[in-house]
Chains A and B, each alone.
Chain A
Amino acid sequence: MSSKKQAIDRYSVISFIICLFIAPLFLRNNYWLHVLGITGINIILVSSLHTIRSTGEISMGTGGFMALGAYTSALLAMKVGLCFWLTMLLAGILCAAVAVILGYPFMRTKGIYFSILTLVTGEVFRLIAWYYRSLTGGSVGLSGIPGPNPITIPGITTIMFDTKVDYYYLILVIALLSLLILFRLQTSQVGFVWSTIRETDHLAASVGINVLQYKIFAFGIGSFFTGIAGALFAHFMHLLAADATGKFGMTTSIYILIYMVFGGEGKFMGPVIGAFILTILPETFRAMKEYQPVIFGALVILIVFFIPQGIIALPDRILLWRRRKKTS
């Protein structure tokens, strides 16, 4: 029974990925390709947050770490002239290193204290980008960030990265790779240890688990992929500015958290689905853009009250409701 369900899950994931790969053949609209690109970046962000969350902590610094990654990658590409593939990796590594150094004091705190520390740290990263004009352009921002170098697949084609379709595939591949790595981590021994820490950290310590080290590791891994997402964002938009209401502000950190709760943090795919729905959906109702925060708030309240396991549990819930109706 459960293996059958697993098989269904696997086939639906695989067929969905195939759909994503052939989507540009039907979607000749640059606008929707752009939206899907942003969706991919949001999915990497939400999965990074979910990784940190698997030790029981909530990071509110997503926007700030993303800014760190974005500016690192953009500046290395523009001022040093390194190629995108290298700058993206370096952005991720820098974010991970910063997280590990900060994690050492931060992860000694728990719950709301850790959230506040990451919130403030994220804002500090953004404000540095905002005020360090000579390096980051301040409020004017950085523009003309180069795209990736062309990739030549011998005998078939050369990807020039001059159209939205190329960027769509770039983000799709990197998002899938990131998800694969994070999924493998979650289901490995490391993920198992993370969940023991989330459940009862002092029992975990009493059976010999180095709680601090594993928590810092989760924070480092999560921040690595947040940095990767930031780098992708920089080279995808070709333009960066660190204003408070922009992509690097607190609203992003909160939205990413909402995606996770909406999707359901109990399962690996929950936050991914949450980010997918909540990034695509507002774009179909663009006329109501200004009410978006209100609608998001209402949605989260509804989810928390009626399906606390998140939208991913909706099919199971519907089955349950129907069965209950039949018996009554």
Chain B
Amino acid sequence: MEPILQLINLTKYFGGLGAVVDLNLEVNQGEILGLIGPNGAGKTTVINMIAGALHPSRGKLIFKGEDVTHLPPHRIAEKGIGRIFQSNTLFQHWSVIANVRVGLHLHRNIDFLSGFLGLSYARKREDILYEKASEILSFVGLFIKKDQLAISLPHGNQRALCLAVTLALRPTLLLLDEPVTGMNAEEVSTMLSLIRALRDEKGITCIMVEHNMKAVMGLCDRIAVLDYGKKIAEGSPGEVSGNPAVIEAYLGVEQDAS
């Protein structure tokens, strides 16, 4: 089967520094791909390039057989690639449901004039949008908190809300930048089962950057390891965790004491 996303020789230089160099990676439909590596390995840069927030210095991005290398972020989102940011990026002073409502923006089908004239038709659309937003909130388990301000939620809930905002796009590929970092054990397991449900129930493909190894090993179907912008290993969690190059990257070379 054709991969949903292909990264071909993807390269990003910041000044003279190669943050990502000649990265080749294929993401298959319906899998959860883990992207791991030490700090500064270029994981977030890869995510930013896929999402269109950064333009690659060289190389290509093919999404569903289409070249999306130089598209701006909003066009990437229209193609069906959603992302959650590393930090909790939300409309902080808005209610939870208003946040999701922003994500539904693409499906509004309300033309500019009908909103402008305040037609009852637009009101009806507003009700449908509200219903859809409620549905998404129930899925991530935040429906009971729908009227709270986003900023008042605990970290784990804010993370789930980030996911909900992105889900409103109805993405086919999700980019998750550290979805469980900073969470307590209970929040982690809730988030992981959410991501699993996304794959199993909605068929959403995920690329996940994460430092929590237990989460990555337990959840991902396949893992790619980056170090200094280069891919040093790729394979199933079992294969990767036994790979000497990976152990070296994380722990350093074993020095002989004698």
Q: Which residues of A contact B (CB under 8 A)?
A: 184-185, 188-190, 192-193, 196, 199-200, 202-212
A208-B77, A211-B74 given as contacts; is B115 within 8 A of A199 (CB)?
A: no
List, in ascending order, chain A residues with CB within 8 A of B77's CB.
Answer: 205-208
- Chain B: interface residue total (CB-CB under 8 A): 31
Q: Say whether A206 contacts B108, CB under 8 Å.
A: no
A193-B105, A199-B91 given as contacts; is B166 within 8 A of A206 (CB)?
A: yes
Quote the shortest CB–CB distance from A253 to chain B (angstroms): 29
Determine the distance from Cα of A321 to Cα of B85 in the docked complex, in whole angstroms.
41
Residue B90 at the A interface, CB < 8 A? yes
Residue B121 at the A interface, CB < 8 A? no
Determine the distance from Cα of A212 to Cα of B72 in the docked complex, in whole angstroms.
10
List, in ascending order, chain A residues with CB within 8 A of B74's CB.
Answer: 205, 208-211
Q: Mark B109-144, 1 if CB is under 8 A from A, else 0.
A: 010100111100000000000000000000000000
Determine the distance from Cα of A207 to Cα of B77 in the docked complex, in whole angstroms.
6
Total contacts A to B, CB within 8 angstroms? 72
Determine the distance from Cα of A208 to Cα of B74 in the docked complex, in whole angstroms.
4
List, in ascending order, chain A residues with CB within 8 A of B116's CB.
Answer: 184-185, 188, 190
Q: Mark B81-97, 1 if CB is under 8 A from A, else 0.
A: 01101000111111000
Residue B66 at the A interface, CB < 8 A? no
Quote the shortest CB–CB distance from B170 to chain A (angstroms): 11
Quote the shortest CB–CB distance from A281 to chain B (angstroms): 32
Partner of B72, one of A188, A200, A205, A207: A205
Closest A residue, CB atoms, query B77: A208
List, in ascending order, chain B residues with CB within 8 A of A206's CB.
Answer: 51, 53, 73, 77, 82-83, 85, 166
A203-B85, A207-B169, A208-B77 given as contacts; is B112 within 8 A of A190 (CB)?
A: yes
Q: Say whether B73 contacts A196, CB under 8 Å.
A: no
Partner of A204, one of B72, B83, B102, B110: B102
Closest A residue, CB atoms, query B84: A206
Q: Say whether B103 contacts A207, CB under 8 Å.
A: yes
Q: Say whether A208 contacts B106, CB under 8 Å.
A: yes
Determine the distance from Cα of A302 to Cα of B117 in the docked complex, in whole angstroms.
39
Quote the shortest CB–CB distance from B86 to chain A (angstroms): 12
Q: Say whether A196 contacts B91, CB under 8 Å.
A: yes
What are 8 A-B contacts defined by CB distance under 8 Å? A184-B118, A202-B73, A203-B90, A205-B72, A206-B51, A206-B83, A206-B85, A209-B105
Taking A184-B118, A189-B115, A208-B78 as known contacts, 13 extra A-B pairs with beta carbons closer than 8 A to each other, sorted by chain A number, are A184-B116, A185-B116, A188-B116, A189-B110, A190-B115, A204-B102, A205-B72, A206-B73, A206-B82, A206-B85, A207-B82, A207-B168, A208-B106
Determine the distance from Cα of A200 to Cα of B90 in the docked complex, in whole angstroms.
7
Determine the distance from Cα of A205 to Cα of B105 in the docked complex, in whole angstroms.
11
List, in ascending order, chain B residues with CB within 8 A of A190's CB.
Answer: 112, 115-116
Q: Say whether B108 contacts A189, CB under 8 Å.
A: yes
Closest B residue, CB atoms, query A208: B77
Quote the shortest CB–CB distance from A103 to chain B (angstroms): 16
Q: Say whether A205 contacts B90, CB under 8 Å.
A: no
Q: Say whether A203 contacts B91, CB under 8 Å.
A: yes
Quote the shortest CB–CB distance from B204 to chain A (angstroms): 16
Residue B41 at the A interface, CB < 8 A? no
Determine the distance from Cα of A188 to Cα of B117 in the docked complex, in whole angstroms.
9
Partner of B166, one of A193, A207, A209, A210: A207
Best-surrounded residue of B94, B102, B103 (most CB of chain A within 10 A): B102
Quote the shortest CB–CB distance from A208 to chain B (angstroms): 4
A185-B116, A189-B112, A199-B92 given as contacts; is B85 within 8 A of A207 (CB)?
A: no
Quote the shortest CB–CB distance from A206 to chain B (angstroms): 5
Quote the shortest CB–CB distance from A44 to chain B (angstroms): 19
List, in ascending order, chain B residues with CB within 8 A of A200's CB.
Answer: 89-91
List, in ascending order, chain A residues with CB within 8 A of B118's CB.
Answer: 184
Partner of B105, one of A185, A199, A202, A207: A207
List, in ascending order, chain B residues with CB within 8 A of A189's CB.
Answer: 108, 110, 112, 115
Closest A residue, CB atoms, query B83: A206
Partner of A208, one of B53, B91, B94, B169: B169
List, in ascending order, chain A residues with CB within 8 A of B240's CB.
Answer: none
Listed from nearest, the 10 A-B pairs whose CB atoms lie closest are A208-B77, A205-B73, A188-B115, A189-B115, A208-B106, A199-B91, A203-B89, A210-B74, A207-B103, A188-B116
List, in ascending order, chain B residues with CB within 8 A of A210's CB.
Answer: 72, 74
Q: Say whether B53 contacts A202, CB under 8 Å.
A: yes
List, in ascending order, chain A residues with CB within 8 A of B92's CB.
Answer: 199
Residue B216 at the A interface, CB < 8 A? no
Quote the shortest CB–CB distance from A297 to chain B (angstroms): 29
List, in ascending order, chain A residues with CB within 8 A of B106's CB.
Answer: 207-208
Q: Say whether B165 contacts A203, CB under 8 Å.
A: yes
